[in-house]
Each structure stands twice: as structure tokens, then as C-alpha cells.
Amino acid sequence: MSKAPAGPPGGASGLPPFEPPVPALSSLSSSIQISINDYEDAKTPKEKATALQKIQLAATKLSRATTPLHQQFMQNNFGPNVNVAVRIALEMGLFVGSFLLYPFIISFFTSARNPY
């Protein structure tokens, strides 16, 4: 009998399985719960705003802790702002003449006059 071919180690993508540490997740969960309680107990708008910021911060940390690095990379590099910029550039036709200007663009970005 022949065995089915084994896939790459760690799953279909070939990356090792992503397992965030349980103590870190527990700590972040507790932090979110405490911040929610603070928000519910807040009396003034300033206290509510401070508690809401704490909730948002802890939720962001939880999101980062539970998102694999390759997914974070993709989200950062292909986020909505990049998509919008590319769409606007396409609609404006900015890429139409770029092949004619290619040598100039390369020389500009590699020169000492480049402000970027």
C-alpha cells in the first residue's frame, strides 16, 4: 500500500502551528474584564473615556497576540490605505506612462538629490 503524500510540516502553509501562550492570553483577558468593570463603574465622561482607552489597548494587544505573524504582515502591507492609494493611482492613470519614465525614476530614487 502506498501512503498519501505528506504535506509540509506545520500545515498547508508550511509554517509552524501558531499557539499563543495561555498565561499571556489569560492576563490579557483579565485586563479586558477589569477595564470593562472600570468602564461600567465610571461616573464621569473622563473616567469613561480613560476606561474605554484601556479596553481598546488591551483588545489590541489580544488581537496582536492571537494573530500569526504572517497574517499581521499581510494586514500591515495590504491594508485599506494601501488599497485606496493603488486604486486612486490606477484611476488617475499614474501607471500608464511609468514604463517610459522607468529609467528616470530609478535614477532619481538612487541619486543623492532624493528627498525620500
Backbone phi, psi, residue 11, to 5°: 120, -175
What confidence score (pLDDT) does residue 43 get? Answer: 93
Q: Which residue has the cell 465622561?
A: 45
| Closest C-alpha among 72, 70, 74, 71 to residue 82 | 74
Whether the CA torsion 48, 53, 58, 64 is positive or negative: it is positive
Mean per-residue pLDDT for 80-98? 72
Work out the number of other CB atoms within 10 angstroms of the CB of residue 34: 14
- Categorize the per-residue pLDDT at 109 as very low, low, confident or very high, splitting at 50, 70 and 90: low
- Categorize the per-residue pLDDT at 4 as very low, low, confident or very high, splitting at 50, 70 and 90: very low
